[in-house]
Structure formats: structure tokens, C-alpha cells
Structure 1
Amino acid sequence: MTATTDPLTLWAEARSEQRSLRQLGRLVRSSTALVRSAAPRLYVTQLVLQVAAAGALAGQVFAVRSLLTGMLAEDTSMSRVAAPVAALVTATAVVAVSGSVQGQLRRLVGEAVSRSMWQRVLGVASRVDLRTFESPAFQDRLMRVQASALSRPYQVTQGLLAAMGALAACVVLGITLITISPWLLPLVAAAGIPMTLVSRSESRREFAFAVRSTPLVRLRGYFALLLSGRDEAKEVRAFNLGPWLRGRFDGLYEDYLVHLRRHALRLGLLGLLGQTTSALALGSALIAIVWMVDGGMLTVAAAGAGIVAVRFLSTQVQGLFGGLRSIFESGLFLDDLDIFLRHAQTPAGEEDGSTAPVTFSRIETSGLTFSYPGTTTPALAGVDITLRAGEVVALVGENGSGKTTLAKLLAGLYRPDEGRISWDGQDIADLSASSLRDRVTVLFQDFVRYALSASDNIRVGRITEPLDPARTAAAAEASGALGFLERLPDRMETPLSPIFEGGVDLSGGQWQRVALARALYRDAPLVILDEPSAALDPRAEHELFAALRSSLQGRTALFISHRFSTVRGADRIYVLDAGRVVEEGDHDALIARGGRYAELFHLQSEAYVTGQAPR
């Protein structure tokens, strides 16, 4: 199956797909494996109850036959009908109790399947390599799987269990009906043919509607996010966007309801046709029973039992095809899920190779070239830089010059298209990616603000290790965050978000210090800081960089900044432009050279001195 998301293409694939017995077998096997792996004990219990319920249905038929025989006998008495009555009551109770228990079991099984699916989906989403994760095809598939991760597995579960229970009941009731009259079973089976055709048509129409309405539903969901999102709330109120956004949301919802009404009407008419045809076929079976009684081929008692069996069997036939319809409708989800879960396999080279060294003396890049998927212009082209142990090295340049991309490659988040990165002469392509990333800590400008405690926000820097309060406090002190964190209501255990009870929010500068503490807590030999002072005021920025060397404690630092005043103390500065290194040296040497760095530095200095933005 392709990764296409075009609605017309998906619909064409669905129409061309044959709903064959072979496909049905595959879907049933997939569904069974899904349920058994998620809740094996509940699955077995459900099967036992279904068999018991099927046997009880047959017991009801035989009990009705015995009861009618006793009631129609010339010497009828209470003793003659007591046993059939008791059997009928018992069988009815078993069916009722089994149905009630199965309802709760289906709920538990559905939740177990949903949990299993979320675990697998989130496992893939968090493990797949960054280049794959950022691709449009993967994001499209991830969105589809997430949208179905709760509803579709539950639907498959319910459809499978309903079909299995109905199938068991059909087999038992069919055998029971044969003992009454072999001619009745084909008539009842014929009643299932219209339901089969209707079920197939409804499945195709349901999927077609889902494909056609997906773009509209996604856009509607986006407007709902704008109206309810915490990050968007300030601007929505500042620009009074609420009425306009609600109008767009309501309009999209109304469009969806118009399409839904038409779809529901078509399905309703289709269902009416199928049910009417099926009822006529069942009516033929009942007429046949009357005809056989009139012709002396059936006793009245057998006829009564036959009527009960026919009614029970017709209900189970509908349940069987209803369950199969649910499985058919979820076929696309199962296929999509299977393709998505293939990403769970460890990416090539992720664990292959030797373990990265604990420390290094020198990191070098040679001819480093990299392009993002779908782009023709390289983000990096022939980049050569050197990082020595204990140095503070800066990357500067205008937006889009390749600074953050270079940081991602050095951190092992991307593999270069050309060139190499070496640690003490060893190509990192020969090192396992996971061990390399373990030796690097990265603080990106758009770092995550976890709605967790302050302590957790810091220790996620090395979450695999046991909590060390002293180490957490030391990292917070080194970043300048300890003072304000200790003044919080619950100190380091205070949630850093007002969306949870007892939580507080921090300023942008305070958050930046917490994120820096996270990077220092990781205690990796290479520290990459992307705009680490972007949210700091000038005084806080000066204090941060004045203490940077002591905070790093001998670790190598590569920091990216647009503020040229903050890089003056770096041991070496690389100037990037359009993905290439155009200058290299310390601050004084670059100023004396009068090149690109000096030009940008003087432009910023002029803005500070005159108070006007450079032109």
C-alpha cells in the first residue's frame, strides 16, 4: 500500500480492492492477533462466554420444544412441564448474564487494545530517526494513525468479538434447526444474502465518506485548536479573533453536517432495502413452517421450536455480518498501521558500530554537506570546522545560514549527505548513533517547556539515571536558576505550568535558565547551545556568559547566537553564510579583517549606540 494521502487516490484504491474470502481471512487473522496480544486472558474468557451463550440459545429452542410438547399432550401436568420451564429459565438466564458480562469484557478488551496501540504508535513516533520523522509522508501517516489509534482498534475488537460470538451461535442454532427440519436452514441462510451485499456496500460508502471529509475535519480541528489552545489564547484576545474564528469553525461544522446528512440518508435507504429483503426471506421461512405443519411434516411443538430457532438465527446472522462489516471498515486502518509500525525496527546504523568515546580531544568536520528532503538548495555545503576539548566555539550568521543544521549534525540527529564528522580521527559513521547522542547535550532555541516539576524539567537531561537532588541543585545553581526555583511554593517540586493544580509559570528568561540547567545536568563532553540567551535581558546575558566557562567545567561548548556582543569571549568564531563557512578566528582577528563578521558586528553596535535599527 502506498503512502498517498490524496482522497481521490485512496478512494480509487478502496474501490479496486476486492472484498474476497482471502482478504476476509487476512483481516480476521490480523484482528485476532491484535486482540490476543493485548488481552489474552480476557480474550479466552470472552470466547468461553460466547460458546456458553450459543449453547444456551440452543437450549432455549429445545426447552421451548419440550414445553410445547408437554403442554399439548393429553395428560399434561405441572410435573410434565416443570423440567422444560426450569431449562428455559436457566438457558434464558445464561444468555442474559453472558451478554451483560460480555458487554463489560468488550469494554475492557477495547481499552486494552487501545493501550497496546498507543504504546506501539508512540514507541515508533519517539524512536524513528529525525529525518524520517520530519518528512511529510511520515507526518501524514502519523496523523492518520493517531486519529484512529483509539477508535479503530476498538471497532476491530468489537467487530471481531461480535462476529465470533454470532458465528458460534449460528453454528449451534443451525445444527439445532437441522434436527427440527433440514429444509429450514437454507431458507434462513438465504436471508443473510441481502445483508452480505448491503454490508459490503455500506463499508465502501463509509470509507469513501471518511476520505472525502478528512480535509474538512482537519481544518475544523485546526480552528478548534486556535480557539482553545493556551499558546494562542493571548493573541486571540488581543486581536478579538474569537467571533471570526468561531464563525469559521461553525461554517466548517455545518458543511460537515450537510455531507453527513446526505451520507446517513443513503446508508439509511440502503439499510432499509437490505432489511426489507431479509425480512421477506425470513417470512418465507415462517410460511414454510406453517405449510409443513399443515402438511403433517412438523408437529406443532416442533414448529414452535422452529419459529424460535429461526428468529434467534436471523438475529445472529445479522450480528455476524455486522461484525464483519466493522472489520472490513477497519481494513485500511490495519494496513496503514502495519506500514507505520515497520518504522519500529531500529533504523539502519542506529545501534550498529562501536561505542562513542567518553571524552575527546578534537572534533572535526570535513566537507560537510546536507540537504533537507524536498529541497534543492543545500543547507550546508562543504563545511569544515574544528572543536577542541575545553574550548568555547561560536557560530554566527544571518537567518538561514545553516547554524542550527550544523548543530543537529554534530549532535548526531542527522547523518550528512557528504563529508564526515570525526571524533579524534574516528568517523562518527562508524559509531552507534545512540551512544554518540549520549555524549552530546543540545539546548535548542525552541526547547521544550515540560508541564512537570522543576526537578523533572532539569533531570530529563539524563532521565535514565536515578534522581539525584544534589546534582539537580548543582545544575540549577550553575545556570542561575536555583535562586528563583527555591522560592517557588513547593520549591523544586512545583509544577512549572498553571494548567495543573499548584503550578506556576516562569518568565522567558527563567525558562531559559531552567533549560540551560537541563543541558548542564546531562554532563556530556560536548555542549551545544542554540541562542541560549535569546530570552535574557542584557544584564542576565552578561552574567550568563561571564560564568559560562566555570559552568561548563572543562566541557567543550558550541554556541549559536545572533547577538555578536555575546560571542566576543569565544576562543574561536565561525561565520556562516548560505551554508558555508566564510570566516574563522577570534573576535579581534575578525574585526581587524574587516569582513562579513566586522560588518554585522558594526551594524548591531550602531543599533545599540543610536537606538535605531540598522538599514
Structure 2
Amino acid sequence: MTEPDVVKGPGTGRWSVVAERVASLKNLLPLLRMVWASGRGVVVANLVLRLVAALVPVAVLAVARWIVDGVVAAVGAHQGMTPQLARLVALEFVLAAVGALLGRLIQYFNILLAEKYTRHASLQLMDHASRLDLATYEDPSFYDRMERARVQATDRIVTVEMIARFLQQAVTTVSLGIGILVFSPWLLLGIVICLVPAAVAEARFGARIYALNFRLTPKRRELDYLRQLGASKESAKELKIFGLSPFLRHRYEQLSGELLGELVTVWRRAIGGLSMLSVLGVLGYYGAYAFVVYEAARGELSVGSLAFLTGAIVAANRTFQEMFSTAVGIADQSLYLKDLLSFFSLKPTIRSGERALKVPRPIRQGFEFRNVTFKYPGRVEPVLQGASFHLRPGERLALIGENGQGKTTIVKLLMRLYDPTEGQILLDGVDLREYDIEDLWREMGVIFQDFARYDMTAADNIAVGRIEQRGDRALIEESARKSLANTVIDRLPGGYEQILGRRFEGGVDLSGGEWQKLALSRAYMRDAQVLVLDEPTAALDARAELDVFTHFGELARGKMALLISHRFSTVRMADRILVLTGGRIVEEGNHEQLITLGGRYSTMYELQASRYR
């Protein structure tokens, strides 16, 4: 088995490792722009402090040289502690104190910058993700990309600190190198030559590790899923009843073993060469050190110069290696930046045009589907074929059919979460794509069957229906009353301020039906022109369902209402019913008309009614 270089995507071939490193450095500029935008003053302060701190080591060594030579001279002249020596010792103390103070200040500004950048990057990530198409979220590979971007968005502050540290190390190394250069250019060159091969090897090895991590992202995501599945409230019952824990444990053990094996393989193949090159670096350092001692023993150097040069060689060797190591780390990090930048390069296809229209208030003609066909990305067969119907102002329209027949797809198309593959959707005679998409959404009150359960207060769970009115407690309580959610909230220890869910301490979880009542209250809170209810009472018992739909007329009064339900007791309340089969509308009419027709609707109704006889 041959050694893998870099997976297809991050590049292939041995020389491409170096090329990939160099090319990836361009990724640093967008990152630095983000950091600058997150806190300009903090960035400037950090750089100035590091620049001053970088010069402290060589200043300390210079003062130490003068002290040693001064001590030797004072001993030879039997002068004891001279005022000049006292001043030099005091100066060295001041330099050491300044170095310590600068270290603390740099640490403070690092923490401050990290918090500012993390906040800025996370907000940008959230904003960008919210603008992406719904279809993007249905692509499994997108979650790998988003997960990498999510991690990189916050972790890349490490890159920024490394860049700042590299600049500080570079200034220190150059200042120390100048001191060595004055004594012997060849000595400095020998140190550099011994350290460069190790730095190059580290760079190539880092590229292989990045390629491996890139390729293993789907497996790591599956491991996270298995970890959650094996210890979550939602799956606990089935894990026990079906005895799934051994299966999940075996799967996790197998996957994690594969990951460990691949990581160990890469390290085993590289560790020998890396170790030998490290030894070469040590040889360069000790060779220079031995040469300086030799020259001092011959009387070519003063004791102070010996102290300065040995200290400079030790420090330069350390900072030189640290600088190269940091540079390699920066190159590594710049490769990872591709994950973040590629996420930000994703652009939504469903968006408002430059001259987008505002939604009519009120809507006068309603929505019209004209021969609409839709295929989900990656699917060959359309889920909706040639659908044509009209939803008029004030009308309650129900969609019925078996699962997968296109009912929810119609809802998503109506809300322009997708655009039709073929055909056209009109609002008051104008193509839906001509309207401002956010203005369209403001006129939509929607409760999906898989509605979100927010780990927030009960009041906020309702207020999300119209978040700009979050402070209107009277409206929130009225919405809860209309949806009967008030009967749930009144029993909560904290009332409307009770945290729901189990994510946070003190949270109270609700039953499915209780959560659904809160979700329904969002529709009342919304007070939009169009009301969409996708299985709004699926989790409610018969009595609770009856109570909800006693209020349904009030909720839908003066609005266009689109209702999806499998319960005919709900559907028959609609003014008109569309029956879907195979992605096509096969029947249309009110309850009585469709029963009289004796077709698909009538058969489905009789099957359901027979269960209650």
C-alpha cells in the first residue's frame, strides 16, 4: 500500500503538498480582514506590544554582556561594585519587569481579540447560513462543509495568534541574528541550514494531516451522531427495548478504530524522518555553541562576548525553530481556512431581485399555480407534476393524500422556499419571483408538522411567530389563549417566563401535544395574510383537536388558509379540498362534492370512518 499524499480536493502528488501550502497562504487575507473588522484597536495594541516585547530578549543579552565584562574588569582592578554596574543591574531588572508586564498585556489583548473575533465570525456564519437555500440543507455533503466551517469560524483565532506570534518571533530572531552575524556570518548560515530541512518536512507532514482530516470528516460526523444516539433522551426507550446499545457500541468502536488506524499509519511513516531532521537541527545548534566556546578559549572573545553569543545562539536557535514551526502552523491553518471560505462562497439562488416588488396589502386575487412541476435536487422523478389550482383571498384550501404525494412541497413552493422546475406561481397575477422574498415571508403564518421546539421561555416560544413584537406581553397572552396554549402555560412553575426543554438547568419539557399548542399560538401571533398549517393537530388527542378547530374559524377569518391533514374531521372544514396522488391533483371540490364523486377522497374517507364504527 502506497503512502497517501493529499486527497483529491486538497491536491494530489508530493510536490503538490508544497504548492498547496504556498497557494493556501492567500486564504489568510480574508481572515485578517475579518479580524480587523472585529476589533481594530485591539489588533493595533496587540501588534505594538508584541513588537516591543520582541526586542526585549536581545536588549537583556546586551546588558548582560556589559555586566559580565564590567564584573571582570572590576575584579581585575579590585574596584568592587561600581555605580556603572549598579545601573546596569537596575536596567536589566527594568527590562525583565517590562518583559513580564508586556507578556501579561499581550495575554489580555489575546483574550479580548479572541472573544471579539469569535463573536464577529459566529454572527457572520449565522447570517450567511440563514440566507442559503433550503435545498442546500438537504444535501448531505453540505453538513460536512458547514460543520468544518462552524469549527473553523471560531477556531481560526488560533491562526491570528500564530501570525502575531510569528511576527514577534521574527523580530526577535532577526535582532538576535544580527548579533551573531556581526561575530560570524558563517556561523549564522550554518544554524539556518541545519534547521530548514526540518521545517520543510513539518510543512509536508502537516499537509498530509490536513488531507486525512478532510477525508475523515464524514466518519467523524457519524461518530458524533452515534455518541448522541447512544446517550439521548429521544432514543433511550428504543435502545433498551430493541437492545440497540451493543450494535451502536460496535459501530462506534469499528469507525473510531478505522480513524485511529489511519492516523497511526500516517504518523508511523513520518516520525522516523522527522526525528532525524530534528537531530540535524540540534547538531547545528551545538556545533555553533562549540565553535563560540573554542574561540573564547583561544582568547578571541571576551567573557562578556562569550556570554552574549552563547545566549544569542541558544535564544536564536529556539526562536528560529519556533518561528519555522509557527510558519508551518500558519500554513496548516491556512489550508483549513478553505473550509470556512468555501462555506462563505456558497450563494443562494432563491433571492429577491434588485427591483423586487412589495407584496400587495391586501392581496386581491390570491395565488395561482400554473402547470407547476418540481423535482428535488438529486432526484430523477418529480414529486409534483403539472399542478394547477387557485388559492383565493378568504378561502380555506385543504390538501390531502398519502405521504410523499407533494403536499408539503406545494407549501414550500407557495412560500418560495423553492422555485418550480417547470410552470409558474403567480401572486395577484405577477410571478412570485418578482416579489421581495422577505416581504413575502412576512405575510406567511406557517406551522409545520416538524415545528421547532425552542429551548427558551414559553413567552419567547410564542413570540418567534412575530419576533419584533416580543415585548408585547398582551399580544403573546392573547395568542396563547386562542391556541389553548394558555392552559399549558398556566400549569408551568414559571408561567410565561418558564424555560422549556431540558437543554438548560431548570427547564421543563412538554408533551408533543403541549408543544404543538405553543406552535399554533405562533400562527395567531403572526397575524399574516396567508395561513399555512401542516398537520397542525397531529400530536393532539380528539378532544384537544376539537377545541383547536373550534377556534380555527377565528384564526383563518379574512385570511387565505392552506391546510394539510390526514384527519377528515379537520379537512371537511375547508372550503375546497385538493386530492393528490402520484404528485398530481386528481380530485378537487368540497367535502360533500368529493363524497358524491365516489373517487379517491371518498374511499379514503370511508376507510378512516370505518375505524370509529
Partner of 2:8: 9
Partner of 1:48: 48
TM-superposed deviation, 1:448? 0.7
- The answer on 1:411 being equivalent to 2:410 is no
- Distance across 2 between alignment mates of 1:311 and 1:286: 8
- Is 2:144–2:221's contact at 8 Å kept on the other side of the alignment? no
- Is 1:159–1:325's contact at 8 Å kept on the other side of the alignment? no
CA 1:64–1:190 in structure 2 vs 1: closer, same or farther (change >3 Å)? farther
- The answer on 1:312 being equivalent to 2:315 is yes
Partner of 2:121: 117
- The answer on 1:89 being equivalent to 2:88 is no
CA 1:150–1:28 in structure 2 vs 1: closer, same or farther (change >3 Å)? closer
Partner of 1:613: none
Partner of 1:65: 65
- Distance across 2 between alignment mates of 1:50 and 1:101: 9
What SS is found at the alignment partner of 1:282? helix
What SS is found at the alignment partner of 2:173? helix
| Counterpart residue type for residue 112 of structure 1 | K
- The answer on 1:366 being equivalent to 2:365 is no
Matches within 5 A, 1:271-350: 271-293=274-296, 297-343=300-346, 348-349=351-352
Partner of 2:194: 191
- Distance across 1 between alignment mates of 2:344 and 2:20: 25
- Is 2:27–2:338's contact at 8 Å kept on the other side of the alignment? no
- Distance across 1 between alignment mates of 2:349 and 2:514: 37
- Is 1:370–1:378's contact at 8 Å kept on the other side of the alignment? yes
Partner of 1:236: 239
TM-superposed deviation, 1:122? 1.8
- Distance across 2 between alignment mates of 1:547 and 1:252: 52
Deviations 1:454-508 (A, max 9, x none): 1111110011234211211221121122223223222222222244343322222
**Identity among equivalent pairs (%):** 35
Deviations 1:61-89 (A, max 9, x none): 21121112112223253114323322333
- Distance across 2 between alignment mates of 1:243 and 1:20: 43
Partner of 2:495: 491
- Distance across 2 between alignment mates of 1:551 and 1:29: 53
- The answer on 1:167 being equivalent to 2:170 is yes
TM-superposed deviation, 1:346? 8.8
For residue 381 of structure 2, the aligned residue among 374, 377, 383 is 377
| Counterpart residue type for residue 318 of structure 1 | Q
Partner of 2:442: 438
What SS is found at the alignment partner of 2:230? helix
| Counterpart residue type for residue 9 of structure 2 | L
- Distance across 1 between alignment mates of 2:37 and 2:269: 37
TM-superposed deviation, 1:192? 2.9
TM-superposed deviation, 1:525? 0.7
- Distance across 2 between alignment mates of 1:319 and 1:19: 22
| Counterpart residue type for residue 597 of structure 2 | R
- Distance across 2 between alignment mates of 1:344 and 1:316: 43
165-174 or 213-222, which deviates more: 213-222
TM-score between both structures, scaled by the size of structure 1 = 0.91
- The answer on 1:355 being equivalent to 2:358 is yes
TM-superposed deviation, 1:121? 1.6
- Distance across 2 between alignment mates of 1:278 and 1:485: 70
- Distance across 1 between alignment mates of 2:264 and 2:178: 42
| Counterpart residue type for residue 238 of structure 2 | E
Deviations 1:251-299 (A, max 9, x none): 5444444444454555544442232111111222223323443555433
TM-superposed deviation, 1:443? 0.8
- Distance across 1 between alignment mates of 2:417 and 2:244: 39
What SS is found at the alignment partner of 2:192? helix
- Distance across 1 between alignment mates of 2:536 and 2:12: 50
Partner of 2:249: 246
- Is 2:17–2:204's contact at 8 Å kept on the other side of the alignment? no
Matches within 5 A, 1:457-606: 457-606=461-610
CA 1:381–1:468 in structure 2 vs 1: closer, same or farther (change >3 Å)? same
How many residues align? The count is 603
122-131 or 494-503, which deviates more: 494-503
What SS is found at the alignment partner of 2:563? strand
Deviations 1:356-375 (A, max 9, x none): 11221322111112111011
425-434 or 295-304, which deviates more: 295-304
Deviations 1:412-455 (A, max 9, x none): 21111222222221221211111111111111111011111111
CA 1:471–1:538 in structure 2 vs 1: closer, same or farther (change >3 Å)? same
- Distance across 1 between alignment mates of 2:127 and 2:498: 29
TM-superposed deviation, 1:308? 0.9
Partner of 2:208: 205
- Distance across 1 between alignment mates of 2:294 and 2:479: 91
Please report the RMSD computed on the Cα atoms of aligned residues, expressed in angstroms.
Answer: 2.6
- Distance across 1 between alignment mates of 2:607 and 2:321: 78
268-277 or 216-225, which deviates more: 268-277
What SS is found at the alignment partner of 2:210? helix
127-136 or 436-445, which deviates more: 127-136
What SS is found at the alignment partner of 1:149? helix
- Distance across 1 between alignment mates of 2:534 and 2:103: 60
TM-superposed deviation, 1:541? 2.0
- Is 1:351–1:432's contact at 8 Å kept on the other side of the alignment? no
| Counterpart residue type for residue 42 of structure 1 | V
| Counterpart residue type for residue 222 of structure 1 | Y
Matches within 5 A, 1:11-50: 12-13=11-12, 16-19=16-19, 23=23, 26-50=26-50
- Distance across 2 between alignment mates of 1:19 and 1:455: 55
Q: Which runs of 5+ in 2 are unaligned?
A: none
CA 1:279–1:343 in structure 2 vs 1: closer, same or farther (change >3 Å)? same
TM-score between both structures, scaled by the size of structure 2 = 0.91
- Distance across 2 between alignment mates of 1:342 and 1:124: 10
TM-superposed deviation, 1:353? 0.8
- Is 2:21–2:207's contact at 8 Å kept on the other side of the alignment? no
Q: Which runs of 5+ in 1 are unaligned?
A: 1-5, 610-615
